Structure 1
């Protein structure tokens, strides 16, 4: 290993991505060596080569996180063969593909997809008027390792880029993913608008994601911390100093035609307004029957609502968790029911299209539900490429009698993916592998790229 490796070696665990045969490499912390040599850490790198191996792309992450100040920039390094490029240039762009129809229904040249460029830049040679930017520790390590033909780049994605959402129809479908997807393209051309040749171009799938801030991890229960809860009387929480949304409370009552028949009161609470994927949502329900009617049963549903902005009728919803309980029912006049219903939103059989997380070209069979996607309150949702996803809990009390009817309340909440560091890999699963700067992928597939960085240079951090 070269000098930057500090003479230590780390184990490598390969992760196979079903989309296009792509492989990522995850390398653990290197062992300390005797003497004054610093501790060496390694970072995960995604590498993709063109079919002719003349252009190779290295990026630290394929997830671009939407933050308050905008979308994360795409930072990486491109390795070129100057003898092949000669007087031409290498351009890079981030492309949004919005597919709004099934691929198997495209006939007579009709395409149910649109494309838009979210970022565009010249990667090689460096533009003479480009603003100098500070390199990341990973970029510095790659430049030292790959040599003089490697060039660092930064592509700034427009803040109008909507998060990635994959729509799955109710009927079986095996075509191109429907919804919003992104990819990074690096190609050799004389002009940026020139159609690239397949053999000299690189295409790597990306995702634009919304995640909960890292400061919410304890509140989301990721670290096993105690969760805030509403009081015995169901008062709504006031939030906390971390800016986490407080608990959700809703109350409704139903009065009947004759005042002498009384009324039925229904209250429901959520201890928080934000939940992580895989968490149970504890819905606390209180029913007070102050009427002469009977409450037959209670229904608690978690509903996913999807709004495809391109179409005026592109709104649909699906039940992703449900609980129909007759425990404590029928609720006779003068009785009160207080019960907590645990629900976990999961993908199941649906009658409408359902929104899932983008799988970067892999099959959607194991994909989880899409996170909440919200637009700015000041906007009129005029982004035609956006797919907004929201969730709410619906609690329904069904009355008895010929004209009993039902009473319902809704509790909106957000389903998010916590922003977390890369998961630690088990040492027993790691396999040692020699690394070489001359490794190149055949046929345009990604290969493991292990980049050691010195701790003194700020390396070893996991980029998201």
Structure 2
């Protein structure tokens, strides 16, 4: 038996743009015409009731060359501040391990990027408001204080490493958090900020699917011992980017110049997860594999398209598989490919996929 290859081609998987479902937070339905740009409002109120955080959405799109502005409102009751200020921060963090690690002094969370702004008293006069903020202010009233964050383009998207069926605690991954809090200073390590003085909402940074390009193509030749002729294998995809759940058609061309008969063709999809923090470690998980029985005679040619569909539902038991970040209990899928301009290093978790084609030959010496 012989196995030339595998032939490897790169592909990308991204989240399909769809109507957002509500997950987490306190939900209000905005019925006024001025709020037509949004159908839901997410809010969280601090334990003491002095501040309430409002967001019009929780999914923010990475367009590769730019990222959606994170904009919202904090409703402030000045009577309960006792001279203190109100701040908001947006953080992108990598979490790893279980919360139990913190009990023995090991940190289980590392901030990749963080930005803080003071919203009350306003620190920058009268900033320009986004349409989303204008709609929220009409709902909240005069106590609303707007804030905006512009994320850089080199941050990873929301992603989690799928825990095994017997694993407890939080999954490793990258998440984004908007948090409002009451304090005297924005970042004084000696100041104790009580939980009742804070409110937060988790958000997601999701990958946008750019215009599809022509699919990749790769070719190789394999020569066996005791044979002076090779097998030529060419594989290609019809496009470069696929939405989750879309079938992938892999075109395979074979020129079998040997005296061997090809009996089987295997098409598999691997997920490559690169964890970039203090060092760079890459983990490979097979997310789809199909074998096709064929009979390609010696000194003959062959051309056929094979279809495979990688799905999270077929990989639920695999520990360490990367999946798109989710909010509370909503469904998710295999992690989207990390798309970047290539001019900035991305920290956190970087996702790629590759498709492998292998053929098995036998007989003929």
Q: TM-score by structure 1 length?
A: 0.67
Q: Could you tell me which residue of structure 1 aligns to residue 7 of structure 2?
A: none
2:353 to 391, 399, 405: 391
Q: CA deviation at 1:104?
A: 5.1
Contact 1:28 1:42 in 2 (8 A): no
Unaligned runs of 5+ in 1: 1-13, 31-37, 217-243, 405-464
The alignment status of 1:22 with 2:16, answered yes or no, reads no
> Following TM superposition, by how much is the alpha carbon of 1:152 offset from its aligned partner in structure 2, in angstroms?
1.6
Q: CA deviation at 1:300?
A: 0.3
- Give deviations 1:321-378, integer Å, cap 9, x for gaps: 221111x32x221233322211111121565511001113447xx4201100144434
Aligned residue-pair number: 341
3-state SS, counterpart of residue 43 of structure 1: coil
Give the Cα separation in 2 of the matches to 1:59 and 1:272: 36
- Against the structure 1 CA distance between its residues 245 and 71, is the aligned structure 2 distance closer, same or farther, given a 3 Å change threshold? same
Residue of structure 2 aligned with 1:269, choices 236, 244, 268? 236
State the Cα deviation string for residues 395-426 of structure 1 (Å, max 9, x = none).
11112259x9xxxxxxxxxxxxxxxxxxxxxx
RMSD: 2.9
Q: CA deviation at 1:167?
A: 0.7
Give the direction of change, closer, same or farther, for the CA distance of 1:27–1:397 in structure 2 (3 Å limit): farther
Answering whether residue 311 of structure 2 is matched by residue 346 of structure 1, we say yes
Are residues 124 and 67 of structure 1, via their aligned partners in 2, closer, same or farther at CA, if it must alter by over 3 Å? same
Could you tell me which residue of structure 2 aligns to residue 150 of structure 1?
144
Q: How far apart, in 2, do the equivalents of 1:335 and 1:144 lie?
A: 73
Matched, 1:199 2:196: yes
* CA distance 1:157–1:319, change in 2 (3 Å): same
Structure 1 residue 93: Cα displacement: 0.1
Counterpart residue number, 2:222: 254
Aligned twin of 2:105: 109
CA contact (8 A) 1:29 1:41 kept: no
Structure with bigger strand share is: 2
- Quick check: 1:375–1:388 contact (8 Å CA) kept in 2? no
CA 1:68/1:53 → structure 2, altered by over 3 Å: closer, same or farther? same
Aligned to 2:5: none
Q: What are the within-5 Å matches in structure 2 for residues 409-424 of structure 1?
A: none
Query: Is the alpha carbon distance of 1:311 and 1:137 closer, same or farther for their aligned partners in structure 2, counting shifts above 3 Å?
Result: closer
| Residue of structure 2 in register with 1:297 after alignment | 264
1:109-152 Cα offsets, whole Å, 9 max, x none, are: 2233223552110011111xx27433223322332332221122
Aligned partner of 2:253 in structure 1 is 286
- The reply on whether 1:77 has 2:45 as its aligned counterpart is no
User: Mapping of 1:45-124 within 5 angstroms?
Assistant: 45-103=41-99, 108-124=104-120
